[in-house]
Chain A
Amino acid sequence: MIKHHPSESALRSFVEGALPSTKAILISAHCDMCPTCLSKTRSFTESIAVDMFPDLRQNPTILREYISMFESITNDSTLLNPSYSQTLDTRITLDGREFVLPATLARFADRIGEWSHLAGKLWHASVNIGGGSLAQFIYMDRGASVPEHTHKGNELTLVINGKFTDGGKCYESGDFIELNQQHTHMPTAENYEGCLVVTMLDMPLHFTSGWAMLINPLSQLYFKVNTNN
């Protein structure tokens, strides 16, 4: 069962489109997995819409200052580009196990890089979302453990599948974890089957912290991403 959710105010900012991309992606992916937060975002969406458009009484005519806008929209023969959402069933195969990605992350499937070995029983693949943010998948094989460390930036993590413990807490599939620089932690997947998480770091200046400290250019190609239609 999912125990760790984004805060209500984060969900609301997400709905308003006011969050940075990294946090928005992870909250969206969490909502793909968490019916509770999904229904909260739906009711926020509706209540904001009601606030914005309170009395559905119509204005009988178009106000003068909007007439030219109306004309240009309806007479414009140029097209808005059609967009298409990925409806692909996207799975990641890791060491013989298959993981289905939440719909939001599936839309980034073509931006997932090669998997490479980090250290010990840890593997990673970065997600190329551009900009200065670092987004990556981390796979902790059974018994994996990350050395104790503190944070210098804000780190967001979503558990896609599996379990790990950290600071006496147990995190499971769907859990959304937000850590700031006050946290010291040491995630371990000691007693569990492998665990797949996706994590985002907003301040990549501090590659010596968090999951990001694990990035090691001495990587070998090992896992592969499958995109099944």
Chain B
Amino acid sequence: MLIGIPANQQRNETRQPKDCSVEMSGYLDTIAKQRCKASFAKIFSYFAPRLRSYALKQMGNEAIAMELVQDTMSNVWQKAHLFNAEKGSPSTWIFTIARNIRFDMLRKLQNRKEDVCSDDLWPVLCEQTADTKIAPLDEQITLEQVGQYFNELPAKQQRVIEAIYIDGKSQQEVADELEIPLGTVKSRTRLALQRLKDMLREYD
């Protein structure tokens, strides 16, 4: 022990990483469940500057580095429900998101022609559709917002969106019910969400 510094004060100065990790996990949980901005501010204030140093080192360009920070933090904000504390720490999860984004950015920047994206290699940002239901729509767009545009979707997309988001069925259940391949359900969902998103943007 250093002379003149009380033991307990010394302990306070270096906080146990594990405690912080638990705290950060708690914030991610609140972001996922309540879209809590205050919790996101805690995560953001810590991770954003450190991500920037990492990105700057890797990409060597300020604008690209900031794009990587923004994309990573957007994913943290929107996809916090995919974080699983049993699988790893918040730091590890956020690093893997940044890594995925970097891989995809590099692919674009280097003009690599391969049709391989980070989701193919590390599905950390993929919804788990195997046995769990996919993220409820209100985490992405509110139903009220959607209501007015829903009728403008093609009938096939309407059926899929209705079954998944209103009846709460899994994509596999919808595939079985409509007797169409799972891949078709996925692409219809994706197209419908994209379309809704575009309409929201256009009319806002």
A interface vs B, CB < 8 Å?
15-18, 20-22, 24-25, 28, 45-46, 48-50, 52-53, 55-63, 66, 69-70, 72-74, 76-85, 87-88, 104, 107-108, 110-111, 128-133, 229
Residue in A closest to B75 when the chains form the complex, CB atoms: A80
A62-B45, A76-B74, A83-B126 known; A56+B91 contact, CB < 8 A: yes
A–B pairs, 13, beta carbons within 8 Å:
A16-B99, A49-B91, A52-B91, A56-B20, A56-B46, A58-B20, A70-B41, A73-B70, A77-B145, A80-B75, A82-B140, A84-B171, A229-B182
**B17 — which chain A residues lie within 8 A by C-beta?**
55-56
The contact of B112 among A18, A20, A110, A229, by CB within 8 Å, is: A20
**B183 — which chain A residues lie within 8 A by C-beta?**
110
Cβ–Cβ contact A57 & B69, under 8 A: no
**B47 — which chain A residues lie within 8 A by C-beta?**
53
List 20 additional A-B contacts (Cβ < 8 Å) besides A52-B51, A69-B70. A17-B99, A21-B107, A24-B121, A25-B116, A45-B88, A48-B95, A53-B50, A62-B44, A62-B48, A69-B73, A70-B40, A74-B40, A74-B77, A77-B200, A79-B193, A80-B74, A88-B182, A129-B115, A129-B116, A130-B115
How many Å lie between the Cα of A15 and that of B96 in the bound state? 8
Residue in B closest to A42 when the chains form the complex, CB atoms: B88
Cβ–Cβ contact B126 & A133, under 8 A: no
How many Å lie between the Cα of A57 and that of B21 in the bound state? 10
**B49 — which chain A residues lie within 8 A by C-beta?**
59, 63, 66
Contact with A along B108-132 (1 / 0, CB 8 A): 0000111110111111011111100
How many Å lie between the Cα of A45 and that of B200 in the bound state? 38
Residue in A closest to B185 when the chains form the complex, CB atoms: A84
Cβ–Cβ contact B114 & A80, under 8 A: no
How many Å lie between the Cα of A69 and that of B201 in the bound state? 19
Say yes or no for B42: interface residue by CB 8 A criterion.
yes
Cβ–Cβ contact A82 & B120, under 8 A: no
A56-B46, A82-B140 known; A22+B114 contact, CB < 8 A: yes
How many Å lie between the Cα of A229 and that of B182 in the bound state? 8
* Chain B min CB distance to A195 (Å): 25
Cβ–Cβ contact B125 & A83, under 8 A: yes
The contact of A82 among B51, B69, B127, by CB within 8 Å, is: B127
Contact with A along B171-193 (1 / 0, CB 8 A): 11001000001110010011001
How many Å lie between the Cα of A83 and that of B197 in the bound state? 15
The contact of A85 among B41, B126, B200, by CB within 8 Å, is: B126
Residue in B closest to A82 when the chains form the complex, CB atoms: B127
How many Å lie between the Cα of A70 and that of B37 in the bound state? 10
Say yes or no for B89: interface residue by CB 8 A criterion.
yes
Max chain B CB contacts within 10 Å: which of A20, A24, A46, A52? A52
Say yes or no for B194: interface residue by CB 8 A criterion.
yes
**A22 — which chain B residues lie within 8 A by C-beta?**
114
The contact of B120 among A25, A69, A131, by CB within 8 Å, is: A25
* Chain A min CB distance to B106 (Å): 7
**A110 — which chain B residues lie within 8 A by C-beta?**
183
**A80 — which chain B residues lie within 8 A by C-beta?**
74-75, 78-79
Say yes or no for B92: interface residue by CB 8 A criterion.
yes
Cβ–Cβ contact B120 & A107, under 8 A: yes
Cβ–Cβ contact B119 & A85, under 8 A: yes
How many Å lie between the Cα of A3 and that of B100 in the bound state? 29
How many Å lie between the Cα of A69 and that of B47 in the bound state? 13
How many Å lie between the Cα of A66 and that of B130 in the bound state? 37
Question: In chain B, residues 137-187, which have Cβ atoms closer than 8 Å to a Cβ of chain A?
Answer: 140-141, 145, 171-172, 175, 181-183, 186
**B48 — which chain A residues lie within 8 A by C-beta?**
62-63, 66, 69-70
